[in-house]
Structure 1
Amino acid sequence: MTKPNLTLYLAAPRGFCAGVDRAIKIVEMALEKWGAPVFVRHEIVHNKFVVDGLRDKGAIFVEELSDCPDDRPVIFSAHGVAKVVPAEAERRQMIYVDATCPLVSKVHIEAERHYENGLQIIMIGHAGHPETIGTMGQLPDGEVLLVETVDDVATVDVRDPGKLAFVTQTTLSVDDTKDIVAALQARFPAIVGPHKEDICYATTNRQEAVKAVAGKVEAMLVVGAPNSSNSRRLVEVGAKAGCAYAQLVQRADNIDWRALDGISSVAITAGASAPEVLVTEVIDAFRARFNVTVEQVETAVERVNFKVPRVLRDVETEN
């Protein structure tokens, strides 16, 4: 039986960003330096395949510092943690390594600077997301207020409308965030914004690549985890950019083939915490069912690289 023809458009950039790459490397280097087990507070990045791979090497993933023994190293995830977490680790005299993405740390520093200047901060982000919890936890209770939508802006209760600043989670939809920022500026004309966009380069680049490819295809698959904020935003961006069917898949075996019946063009991208091996797996699944032509649609080239913390650089030198 002849396979139907299908064009696969690969969006680029896609997949791992520099912050995710660094966080995974930190766990691997910690295991090399201290041996197993190494404890990791929260999933190091939001991807089951990555987490399972590190678990197989000897990492133990926990949700709280209280789940860790005093005598083994602990790593804080790429999403960042509230200040009380490293403070508690120091009190317990634990060895800890902070794998917070440097672009998230930049937002933390920004929030502290605004606080020192006497400003109350409004954070645009998703309630319950570890990055939001970590950023809000840099300052005392009540100093950072959370808004998730344009509607939230109308009801947020601030201390002084003339002394406000805003920061954002790094993995939001660029377009949705613009609308929320505009609403904040309309209600609080004196509000101070970041010098440079808080939404990280990788989130922005992946969303731009999705917009470039969405109009060319009948369907789009985003390889990523359901708890990955940036992956879920890619699905939303694809749908808003005109793609009739945009879906998140963790692995090739999550693909709903019935929904793709009769189509001739599909776009594939991956969230910033999804490894390229999973994209390859998805492409191979299409090759098994279709006569596939692959086209790359590249909108940016990324050359960002972040150093690992100093405590692990001796391992890097040995390698």
Structure 2
Amino acid sequence: MSISKVLSPEEYVEQAYLFKALMERMSADEPIQELLGYLREEILATTKLPMAIDFLLAEVKQLGTMATAMKRIAHYFTPYQSFLIGTAEDDHAQLQMRSALHLLYHDAKLRSEHADRPTMFFHQFESLCRHSLDYDYGLQAIAVDPIYDDTWQRWILGVRHKLGMVDMADLVYIHSEYYLQRKREDDETPDPILFGEKEGRIALANRTKETHYLFLALQRQLGYPPVPLPQKVDPADELIPKLKRMVERLEVRVKFLEDEQRNQGIDLSKFYKKNQKP
């Protein structure tokens, strides 16, 4: 089980505001730590988010990344939230930071509105699909989200192993109330039943089809929230912010080396092979 906890609605309201404001105010000219500093003053002081921002700021100044801090305060940020930011901070990943923040905004907004488990799962899973994220790590992070109980956690981890061999529509259908109604007496009863009759009907109608047709049908028929689609971004527009983040991380490492050398020097002997002298 995850050590993350379900927070109060006001915490998620402020998280949604933070992620949306970061997304809208990001620019090539302003470092992320300055934006976090400004936004800390805007966040409701009665929530725990200002303290979390302080921790993020300290980590950004020391290591140049936010995801490492989010993982260390896993009682506040969920593994799924850390996964999205960590993917965006990976220089080799395709997920842009603005897109990650956009996804996090919608995720926090749903949590503040007490979205049920099927809604959260479909939204999180569609985010993985639409943005070509790593299914293995993504589903692992989703499974330990505090909104899911042990039954859901086991099912999501099962999806993680079956995906690619079994269609998502089939996995939804056989765990729905509709499948339970249609099954013959000699059929094995699926365990557990996680989705309603209408979700099961839609899943059955979308078997053997592309997964995004299932998502679109759920949104049209049952009002499930859509996921922000990847935006076409000119690589040149993202180059400067990405280079700026890389320079910030390099500056942190150089400062660390300078401090170590100033205090006691760097002991290179530990890198020598046995009985080898410089």
Same fold per TM (> 0.5)?
Answer: no
Higher relative contact order (Cα pairs below 8 Å, separated by 6+ residues): 1
Q: Say which structure is richer in strand.
A: 1
Q: TM-score range by the shorter chain?
A: 0.3 to 0.5
Larger radius of gyration: 2
More helix by share: 2
TM-score, normalised to structure 2, is: 0.33
